[in-house]
Structure 1
Amino acid sequence: MTDKAGLRRELRARRRAFAATRPSLPAPSRLLIEALCPGGIVASYVPVGGEADPALFDAAVVAAGGVLAWPVVIDRESPITFHLGSTDTMADGPYGLRQPQATGDGVVPDIVLTPLVGFDSRCNRLGQGAGHYDRAFALWPDALRIGIAWSVQQVDALPRDPWDVPLHMIITETDVFLPGVPK
Protein backbone atom coordinates (compact mmCIF):
# COMPACT_ATOMS: atom_id res chain seq x y z
CA MET A 1 0.00 0.00 0.00
CA THR A 2 1.53 3.34 -1.04
CA ASP A 3 -1.34 5.66 -0.06
CA LYS A 4 -0.32 7.29 3.24
CA ALA A 5 -3.89 7.90 4.44
CA GLY A 6 -4.89 4.28 3.82
CA LEU A 7 -1.70 3.02 5.39
CA ARG A 8 -2.34 5.16 8.48
CA ARG A 9 -5.84 3.68 8.87
CA GLU A 10 -4.51 0.13 8.57
CA LEU A 11 -1.57 0.66 10.91
CA ARG A 12 -3.61 2.51 13.55
CA ALA A 13 -6.04 -0.42 13.67
CA ARG A 14 -3.13 -2.87 13.91
CA ARG A 15 -1.52 -0.78 16.67
CA ARG A 16 -4.74 -0.49 18.71
CA ALA A 17 -5.38 -4.24 18.48
CA PHE A 18 -1.83 -5.06 19.55
CA ALA A 19 -1.85 -2.51 22.38
CA ALA A 20 -5.06 -4.10 23.70
CA THR A 21 -2.98 -7.21 24.53
CA ARG A 22 -1.05 -5.01 27.02
CA PRO A 23 2.46 -5.51 25.70
CA SER A 24 5.38 -3.67 27.24
CA LEU A 25 8.68 -2.41 26.00
CA PRO A 26 11.83 -3.67 27.70
CA ALA A 27 13.48 -1.26 30.09
CA PRO A 28 16.53 0.29 28.45
CA SER A 29 19.82 -0.31 30.18
CA ARG A 30 21.13 2.54 32.28
CA LEU A 31 24.39 2.26 30.32
CA LEU A 32 22.51 2.94 27.06
CA ILE A 33 20.73 5.96 28.52
CA GLU A 34 23.93 7.35 30.03
CA ALA A 35 25.74 6.90 26.71
CA LEU A 36 22.96 8.53 24.69
CA CYS A 37 22.15 11.42 26.96
CA PRO A 38 24.41 12.10 29.93
CA GLY A 39 22.31 14.58 31.90
CA GLY A 40 20.67 16.02 28.81
CA ILE A 41 17.11 16.93 27.86
CA VAL A 42 14.99 14.11 26.49
CA ALA A 43 11.69 14.96 24.83
CA SER A 44 9.19 12.21 25.53
CA TYR A 45 5.42 11.93 25.08
CA VAL A 46 2.27 10.61 26.74
CA PRO A 47 0.93 7.81 24.51
CA VAL A 48 -2.51 7.96 22.90
CA GLY A 49 -4.38 5.59 20.59
CA GLY A 50 -2.31 2.51 21.39
CA GLU A 51 1.08 4.19 20.93
CA ALA A 52 4.01 2.40 22.57
CA ASP A 53 4.50 3.80 26.07
CA PRO A 54 7.97 5.26 26.70
CA ALA A 55 7.47 5.31 30.52
CA LEU A 56 10.35 2.88 31.19
CA PHE A 57 12.64 5.03 29.04
CA ASP A 58 11.47 8.11 30.91
CA ALA A 59 12.29 6.50 34.26
CA ALA A 60 15.74 5.45 33.00
CA VAL A 61 16.45 8.98 31.77
CA VAL A 62 15.58 10.49 35.15
CA ALA A 63 17.61 7.81 36.99
CA ALA A 64 20.61 8.68 34.81
CA GLY A 65 20.33 12.38 35.67
CA GLY A 66 18.50 13.47 32.52
CA VAL A 67 15.59 15.89 32.31
CA LEU A 68 12.28 15.15 30.59
CA ALA A 69 10.44 17.56 28.33
CA TRP A 70 7.00 17.06 26.83
CA PRO A 71 5.45 18.10 23.53
CA VAL A 72 3.01 20.98 23.34
CA VAL A 73 0.81 21.16 20.25
CA ILE A 74 -1.27 24.28 19.68
CA ASP A 75 -2.89 23.43 16.36
CA ARG A 76 -2.14 21.70 13.06
CA GLU A 77 -0.06 24.55 11.62
CA SER A 78 1.96 25.69 14.65
CA PRO A 79 5.29 24.03 15.31
CA ILE A 80 5.52 21.57 18.17
CA THR A 81 7.52 22.80 21.16
CA PHE A 82 8.88 20.88 24.13
CA HIS A 83 8.46 22.04 27.72
CA LEU A 84 9.65 20.84 31.09
CA GLY A 85 7.00 19.51 33.40
CA SER A 86 5.55 16.50 35.12
CA THR A 87 2.92 14.08 33.89
CA ASP A 88 1.09 14.85 37.15
CA THR A 89 0.36 18.43 36.07
CA MET A 90 -0.61 17.90 32.44
CA ALA A 91 -3.83 19.16 30.93
CA ASP A 92 -5.89 18.09 27.94
CA GLY A 93 -4.61 19.45 24.65
CA PRO A 94 -5.77 19.16 21.04
CA TYR A 95 -6.15 15.76 19.35
CA GLY A 96 -6.65 13.99 22.70
CA LEU A 97 -3.09 14.79 23.80
CA ARG A 98 -1.98 15.32 27.40
CA GLN A 99 0.54 18.13 27.62
CA PRO A 100 2.12 20.58 30.07
CA GLN A 101 1.37 24.27 30.20
CA ALA A 102 3.44 26.02 27.55
CA THR A 103 5.69 28.56 29.23
CA GLY A 104 8.01 30.61 27.07
CA ASP A 105 9.63 29.20 23.98
CA GLY A 106 10.28 25.75 25.39
CA VAL A 107 13.55 23.83 25.51
CA VAL A 108 15.86 22.35 22.90
CA PRO A 109 15.99 18.56 23.29
CA ASP A 110 19.11 16.44 22.96
CA ILE A 111 16.98 13.36 22.22
CA VAL A 112 13.44 13.17 20.88
CA LEU A 113 11.50 10.00 21.72
CA THR A 114 9.04 9.88 18.89
CA PRO A 115 5.64 8.21 18.61
CA LEU A 116 4.70 6.90 15.20
CA VAL A 117 2.01 5.16 13.20
CA GLY A 118 4.36 3.02 11.09
CA PHE A 119 8.00 2.48 10.22
CA ASP A 120 10.30 0.51 7.95
CA SER A 121 13.69 -1.09 8.57
CA ARG A 122 15.46 1.99 7.16
CA CYS A 123 14.01 4.01 10.06
CA ASN A 124 11.57 5.93 7.93
CA ARG A 125 8.60 7.00 10.05
CA LEU A 126 4.94 7.45 9.21
CA GLY A 127 3.44 9.95 11.65
CA GLN A 128 -0.09 11.22 12.22
CA GLY A 129 0.05 13.35 9.09
CA ALA A 130 0.33 16.91 10.41
CA GLY A 131 4.13 17.09 10.11
CA HIS A 132 4.69 18.27 13.69
CA TYR A 133 7.67 16.02 14.36
CA ASP A 134 9.21 16.46 10.89
CA ARG A 135 9.17 20.24 11.41
CA ALA A 136 10.65 19.82 14.90
CA PHE A 137 13.43 17.65 13.46
CA ALA A 138 14.22 20.39 10.95
CA LEU A 139 14.48 22.93 13.82
CA TRP A 140 16.76 20.68 15.89
CA PRO A 141 18.82 18.67 13.39
CA ASP A 142 21.38 17.70 16.05
CA ALA A 143 18.82 16.00 18.30
CA LEU A 144 18.97 12.21 18.31
CA ARG A 145 15.65 10.95 16.89
CA ILE A 146 14.46 7.68 18.45
CA GLY A 147 11.16 6.12 17.43
CA ILE A 148 9.25 4.09 20.00
CA ALA A 149 6.88 1.56 18.42
CA TRP A 150 5.31 -1.87 18.45
CA SER A 151 6.69 -4.50 16.08
CA VAL A 152 3.28 -4.75 14.34
CA GLN A 153 3.77 -1.21 13.06
CA GLN A 154 6.62 -2.26 10.76
CA VAL A 155 6.03 -2.38 7.01
CA ASP A 156 8.39 -3.37 4.20
CA ALA A 157 8.76 0.16 2.83
CA LEU A 158 7.08 3.50 3.46
CA PRO A 159 6.21 6.08 0.84
CA ARG A 160 8.37 9.17 1.45
CA ASP A 161 7.89 12.83 0.76
CA PRO A 162 10.76 15.35 0.56
CA TRP A 163 9.95 16.72 4.04
CA ASP A 164 9.94 13.31 5.76
CA VAL A 165 12.89 13.02 8.16
CA PRO A 166 14.12 9.51 8.99
CA LEU A 167 14.89 8.50 12.55
CA HIS A 168 18.30 7.53 13.91
CA MET A 169 16.89 4.49 15.70
CA ILE A 170 13.59 2.68 16.31
CA ILE A 171 13.00 0.57 19.39
CA THR A 172 10.18 -1.97 19.61
CA GLU A 173 9.29 -4.63 22.17
CA THR A 174 11.32 -7.15 20.14
CA ASP A 175 14.11 -5.31 18.33
CA VAL A 176 16.21 -2.22 17.71
CA PHE A 177 16.46 -0.83 14.18
CA LEU A 178 19.31 1.30 12.91
CA PRO A 179 19.39 2.65 9.35
CA GLY A 180 21.74 0.70 7.14
CA VAL A 181 21.97 -2.25 9.54
CA PRO A 182 20.24 -5.23 7.91
CA LYS A 183 17.92 -7.46 9.92
Structure 2
Amino acid sequence: MRYLSPMIQKHELRAAMRAARKRLAGLDPEAALRAAEHADKLPPAELVAVYRAIGSEIDPDALSLALNRQGRQLCLPVVIERDAPMIFRRWSPGEPLELDFAGVPAPFPLAEAVTPDLIVTPLLAFDAAGGRLGQGGGYYDRTFAALPAATRIGFAYAGQEVENLPVELHDIRLHGVLTERGYRAVP
Protein backbone atom coordinates (compact mmCIF):
# COMPACT_ATOMS: atom_id res chain seq x y z
CA MET A 1 0.00 0.00 0.00
CA ARG A 2 1.41 3.35 -1.05
CA TYR A 3 1.14 6.45 1.13
CA LEU A 4 -0.01 9.58 -0.69
CA SER A 5 0.91 13.07 0.34
CA PRO A 6 -2.22 15.19 0.91
CA MET A 7 -0.64 17.85 -1.29
CA ILE A 8 -0.46 15.65 -4.40
CA GLN A 9 -2.68 16.85 -7.23
CA LYS A 10 -5.13 14.44 -8.86
CA HIS A 11 -3.52 14.85 -12.31
CA GLU A 12 -0.11 13.96 -10.83
CA LEU A 13 -1.65 11.01 -9.02
CA ARG A 14 -3.33 9.79 -12.21
CA ALA A 15 -0.06 9.90 -14.11
CA ALA A 16 1.78 8.02 -11.35
CA MET A 17 -0.96 5.40 -11.02
CA ARG A 18 -1.18 4.85 -14.79
CA ALA A 19 2.52 4.03 -14.76
CA ALA A 20 2.11 1.80 -11.69
CA ARG A 21 -0.83 -0.06 -13.25
CA LYS A 22 1.11 -0.62 -16.48
CA ARG A 23 4.01 -2.02 -14.46
CA LEU A 24 1.69 -4.30 -12.46
CA ALA A 25 0.06 -5.57 -15.66
CA GLY A 26 3.49 -6.50 -17.03
CA LEU A 27 4.62 -8.15 -13.81
CA ASP A 28 1.55 -10.34 -13.35
CA PRO A 29 -0.31 -11.19 -16.56
CA GLU A 30 -2.26 -13.95 -14.72
CA ALA A 31 -3.72 -11.62 -12.06
CA ALA A 32 -7.09 -11.33 -13.79
CA LEU A 33 -7.44 -15.12 -13.94
CA ARG A 34 -6.74 -15.42 -10.20
CA ALA A 35 -9.19 -12.62 -9.44
CA ALA A 36 -11.90 -14.40 -11.44
CA GLU A 37 -11.52 -17.40 -9.11
CA HIS A 38 -13.12 -15.19 -6.43
CA ALA A 39 -16.20 -14.27 -8.51
CA ASP A 40 -18.41 -16.28 -6.15
CA LYS A 41 -17.47 -13.89 -3.31
CA LEU A 42 -19.04 -10.88 -5.03
CA PRO A 43 -22.32 -9.60 -3.60
CA PRO A 44 -25.49 -11.18 -5.00
CA ALA A 45 -26.78 -9.61 -8.20
CA GLU A 46 -28.79 -10.89 -11.10
CA LEU A 47 -27.47 -8.39 -13.65
CA VAL A 48 -23.80 -7.40 -13.50
CA ALA A 49 -22.16 -4.62 -15.50
CA VAL A 50 -18.61 -5.43 -16.53
CA TYR A 51 -16.38 -3.44 -18.90
CA ARG A 52 -14.00 -3.93 -21.82
CA ALA A 53 -10.40 -3.32 -20.74
CA ILE A 54 -8.53 -0.42 -22.28
CA GLY A 55 -4.74 -0.19 -22.10
CA SER A 56 -3.37 -1.63 -18.88
CA GLU A 57 -6.72 -1.99 -17.08
CA ILE A 58 -7.08 -5.42 -15.50
CA ASP A 59 -9.01 -7.46 -18.06
CA PRO A 60 -12.43 -8.66 -16.86
CA ASP A 61 -12.82 -11.34 -19.58
CA ALA A 62 -12.20 -14.27 -17.20
CA LEU A 63 -14.41 -12.62 -14.58
CA SER A 64 -17.19 -12.18 -17.15
CA LEU A 65 -17.02 -15.87 -18.04
CA ALA A 66 -17.05 -16.87 -14.35
CA LEU A 67 -20.07 -14.66 -13.66
CA ASN A 68 -21.80 -16.08 -16.73
CA ARG A 69 -21.17 -19.64 -15.50
CA GLN A 70 -22.79 -18.66 -12.19
CA GLY A 71 -25.94 -17.79 -14.12
CA ARG A 72 -25.56 -14.06 -13.75
CA GLN A 73 -26.57 -11.92 -16.71
CA LEU A 74 -24.11 -9.35 -18.01
CA CYS A 75 -24.18 -5.93 -19.54
CA LEU A 76 -21.64 -3.33 -20.65
CA PRO A 77 -21.59 0.43 -20.18
CA VAL A 78 -22.17 2.67 -23.17
CA VAL A 79 -21.20 6.33 -23.37
CA ILE A 80 -23.81 8.14 -25.46
CA GLU A 81 -23.03 11.73 -24.39
CA ARG A 82 -19.94 13.40 -22.98
CA ASP A 83 -21.38 14.82 -19.73
CA ALA A 84 -24.17 12.31 -19.11
CA PRO A 85 -24.33 9.09 -17.11
CA MET A 86 -23.55 5.96 -19.09
CA ILE A 87 -26.33 3.60 -20.09
CA PHE A 88 -26.00 -0.18 -20.03
CA ARG A 89 -26.85 -2.71 -22.71
CA ARG A 90 -27.27 -6.44 -22.24
CA TRP A 91 -24.24 -8.42 -23.44
CA SER A 92 -22.85 -11.95 -23.41
CA PRO A 93 -19.17 -12.89 -23.86
CA GLY A 94 -18.34 -13.30 -27.53
CA GLU A 95 -21.06 -11.00 -28.88
CA PRO A 96 -19.85 -8.37 -31.37
CA LEU A 97 -19.21 -4.83 -30.20
CA GLU A 98 -18.84 -1.38 -31.74
CA LEU A 99 -17.14 1.77 -30.45
CA ASP A 100 -19.29 4.10 -28.35
CA PHE A 101 -19.08 7.92 -28.12
CA ALA A 102 -15.91 7.63 -25.98
CA GLY A 103 -14.25 5.12 -28.34
CA VAL A 104 -14.78 2.13 -26.03
CA PRO A 105 -16.16 -1.22 -27.30
CA ALA A 106 -19.88 -1.46 -26.47
CA PRO A 107 -22.93 -3.49 -27.51
CA PHE A 108 -24.81 -2.43 -30.62
CA PRO A 109 -27.80 -0.08 -30.18
CA LEU A 110 -30.20 -2.97 -30.84
CA ALA A 111 -29.09 -4.63 -27.58
CA GLU A 112 -31.60 -4.25 -24.75
CA ALA A 113 -30.99 -1.28 -22.42
CA VAL A 114 -30.88 -2.53 -18.83
CA THR A 115 -30.17 -1.36 -15.28
CA PRO A 116 -27.48 -3.40 -13.48
CA ASP A 117 -27.69 -4.48 -9.85
CA LEU A 118 -23.89 -4.54 -9.56
CA ILE A 119 -21.33 -2.46 -11.47
CA VAL A 120 -17.76 -3.71 -11.83
CA THR A 121 -15.58 -0.69 -12.55
CA PRO A 122 -11.98 -0.22 -13.67
CA LEU A 123 -9.81 2.24 -11.79
CA LEU A 124 -6.35 3.72 -11.41
CA ALA A 125 -6.21 3.52 -7.61
CA PHE A 126 -8.37 2.63 -4.62
CA ASP A 127 -8.16 2.91 -0.84
CA ALA A 128 -9.55 0.90 2.08
CA ALA A 129 -12.40 3.39 2.59
CA GLY A 130 -13.80 2.73 -0.90
CA GLY A 131 -12.20 5.73 -2.55
CA ARG A 132 -11.72 5.29 -6.30
CA LEU A 133 -9.48 7.20 -8.66
CA GLY A 134 -10.69 6.91 -12.24
CA GLN A 135 -9.39 8.30 -15.51
CA GLY A 136 -10.87 11.72 -14.81
CA GLY A 137 -13.76 11.82 -17.27
CA GLY A 138 -16.39 11.42 -14.55
CA TYR A 139 -18.38 8.81 -16.48
CA TYR A 140 -18.54 6.31 -13.63
CA ASP A 141 -19.20 8.92 -10.92
CA ARG A 142 -22.12 10.38 -12.94
CA THR A 143 -23.42 6.85 -13.52
CA PHE A 144 -23.06 5.89 -9.83
CA ALA A 145 -24.99 9.03 -8.88
CA ALA A 146 -27.77 8.14 -11.34
CA LEU A 147 -27.95 4.53 -10.06
CA PRO A 148 -27.54 4.82 -6.27
CA ALA A 149 -29.07 1.36 -5.62
CA ALA A 150 -26.41 -0.43 -7.69
CA THR A 151 -23.55 -2.10 -5.80
CA ARG A 152 -20.21 -0.61 -6.90
CA ILE A 153 -17.20 -2.94 -7.08
CA GLY A 154 -13.72 -1.90 -8.19
CA PHE A 155 -11.69 -4.41 -10.22
CA ALA A 156 -7.96 -3.88 -9.95
CA TYR A 157 -4.50 -5.22 -9.23
CA ALA A 158 -3.85 -5.41 -5.48
CA GLY A 159 -0.86 -3.12 -6.04
CA GLN A 160 -3.19 -0.29 -7.05
CA GLU A 161 -4.23 0.19 -3.43
CA VAL A 162 -3.01 3.41 -1.82
CA GLU A 163 -3.17 4.69 1.75
CA ASN A 164 -5.76 7.38 1.11
CA LEU A 165 -7.20 9.10 -1.94
CA PRO A 166 -8.21 12.74 -2.20
CA VAL A 167 -12.02 12.70 -2.32
CA GLU A 168 -14.17 15.48 -3.76
CA LEU A 169 -17.92 16.00 -3.35
CA HIS A 170 -18.73 14.33 -6.69
CA ASP A 171 -16.60 11.23 -5.94
CA ILE A 172 -18.76 8.23 -5.05
CA ARG A 173 -17.22 5.46 -2.98
CA LEU A 174 -17.08 1.77 -3.84
CA HIS A 175 -18.80 -0.97 -1.84
CA GLY A 176 -15.88 -3.34 -2.38
CA VAL A 177 -12.84 -4.25 -4.45
CA LEU A 178 -11.91 -7.46 -6.28
CA THR A 179 -8.22 -8.14 -6.91
CA GLU A 180 -6.08 -11.18 -7.57
CA ARG A 181 -5.92 -11.57 -3.76
CA GLY A 182 -9.69 -11.86 -3.41
CA TYR A 183 -12.77 -9.79 -2.71
CA ARG A 184 -12.89 -7.25 0.09
CA ALA A 185 -16.02 -5.36 1.08
CA VAL A 186 -15.63 -1.79 2.25
CA PRO A 187 -16.73 -1.41 5.88
TM-score by length of 2: 0.85
- Matched to 1:139, the amino acid is A
Question: What is the Cα deviation at residue 177 of structure 1?
Answer: 3.1
SS at match of 1:42: strand
Identical residues among aligned pairs (%): 35
- Report 1:2-151 matches (<5 A): 2-21=8-27, 22-25=29-32, 26=34, 27-29=36-38, 31-32=40-41, 36-37=44-45, 40-86=46-92, 87-103=94-110, 106-151=113-158
- Matched to 1:32, the amino acid is K
SS at match of 2:153: strand
- In the alignment, what sits opposite 1:165? 172
Alpha-carbon distance between aligned partners in 2 of 1:162 and 1:109, rounded to the nearest angstrom = 24
Return closer, same or farther for 1:90/1:156 CA change in 2, 3 Å cut-off: same
Greater Cα shift, 96-105 or 63-72: 96-105
SS at match of 2:113: coil
Q: Which has the higher contact order (CA 8 A, sep 6+)?
A: 2
Alpha-carbon distance between aligned partners in 1 of 2:70 and 2:182, rounded to the nearest angstrom = 23
Return closer, same or farther for 1:179/1:31 CA change in 2, 3 Å cut-off: closer
- Matched to 2:30, the amino acid is P
Asked if 2 retains the 8 angstrom alpha-carbon contact of 1:118 and 1:155, the reply is yes
| Gapped regions of structure 1 (runs ≥ 5) | none
Could you say what the CA RMSD is over the residues aligned between the two structures, in angstroms?
2.1
Asked if 1 retains the 8 angstrom alpha-carbon contact of 2:82 and 2:101, the reply is no
Greater Cα shift, 119-128 or 97-106: 97-106
Alpha-carbon distance between aligned partners in 1 of 2:90 and 2:160, rounded to the nearest angstrom = 29
Greater Cα shift, 96-105 or 129-138: 96-105
Count of residue pairs brought into register by the alignment: 177
Question: What is the Cα deviation at residue 36 of structure 1?
Answer: 1.4
- Matched to 2:41, the amino acid is L
- In the alignment, what sits opposite 2:160? 153
SS at match of 1:53: coil
SS at match of 2:30: coil
Question: What is the Cα deviation at residue 138 of structure 1?
Answer: 1.3
Runs ≥4 residues deviating over 4 A: none
Alpha-carbon distance between aligned partners in 2 of 1:66 and 1:175, rounded to the nearest angstrom = 19
SS at match of 2:11: helix
TM-score by length of 1: 0.86
Question: What is the Cα deviation at residue 31 of structure 1?
Answer: 4.4
Asked if 2 retains the 8 angstrom alpha-carbon contact of 1:72 and 1:102, the reply is no
| Gapped regions of structure 2 (runs ≥ 5) | none
